[in-house]
Amino acid sequence: MSSDPTGYSLMGIVNATPDSFSDGGRFLEPQAAIDHACALIERGAAIVDVGGESTRPGAQPVSAEEELRRVEPVIEGIAARERDGVAPAQISIDTSKASVARAALAAGASLVNDVSALRADAEMAAVVADGDADCCLVHMLGEPGAPRPQPRYGDVVDEVKAFLSERMDFAVRAGIAEQRLLLDPGIGFGKTVEHNLQLLQRLHELVELGRPVVIGTSRKSFLGRIAGTSQDPERLSGTIATNVLALERGARVFRVHDVAALREALEVATATLAGRWTESRGARTRTTQTS
């Protein structure tokens, strides 16, 4: 993996659900979700992550048929809009169900973001391998949507690292090329505020596994608890702070709701880390070395 601090990707969140914790219901209609995804791409998202089932604690599970009814037209619509001139982006399907992933890949997705890290459905690894797709492996305690168990770790970073290493090995044995894998420590999934902070502080230890690390802190409740703004659903300042710190520690993919604000923050951060900047977005491209 490249050590270039300017190399990162934004993954824009598209929740085609009625009950996601931050924007549930806003993009339940396919056209609204398609328009939102294309807007995120225009603002700088290199990946759009489409999900049809909320993983927040207490969320009601949905059938594979209902999940697919929500996401398939959205993925098809994004792919069609890209063909019509929208800037290209990778389409990700956020699911733990093999049947949903299979249909999503056929509809135009090329990344499977599985919060269960290929554990929830015995057929998922084969679907990813046969589809020659990328795959994000996520650490999580408990089941998606279920109340989280009381999290206890001896050393949360060591345990998450060992889990992700084991799931990488499993994926490769199942036929998924290692270069296709991304790793997500699952911030907020079965972790206390202290666990989340330890993972962010020692993120470089997960980077040692050699695959791009994905960070998903966007709008999560632990940010509001730290800042004393737990009733603010946007939590933008905390999201920016954690993503900039994660970038400095080696994270390379940032799963966010507010793509434009995060792109600006990460552009400034990468310029600072690299000691150079590139002027773009309609202006003459220029790279300047700082002294």
**Residue 161 CA to its chain's centroid (Å):** 18
Is residue 255 annotated as a catalytic residue, yes or no?
Answer: yes
Q: pTM for this one?
A: 0.89
202, 219, 220, 235: which is the annotated catalytic residue? 220
Residue with tokens 């044995």: 173
pLDDT of residue 288: 39
**Residue 279 CA to its chain's centroid (Å):** 27
* Tens digit of each residue's pLDDT (9 = 90 or more) over 208-238: 999 999 999 999 999 999 998 877 778 999 9
Is residue 220 annotated as a catalytic residue, yes or no?
Answer: yes
First to last CA, the chain: 27
DSSP annotation of 179 reads G
CA distances from 205 to 165, 210, 271 (A): 12, 10, 23
**CATH number for region 9-259:** 3.20.20.20
Six-digit token pair at 286? 């220029």
102, 202, 219, 255: which is the annotated catalytic residue? 255
pLDDT, average across residues 123-136: 98
pLDDT of residue 144: 57
Find, among 79, 60, 83, the residue nearest to 71 by Cα. 79
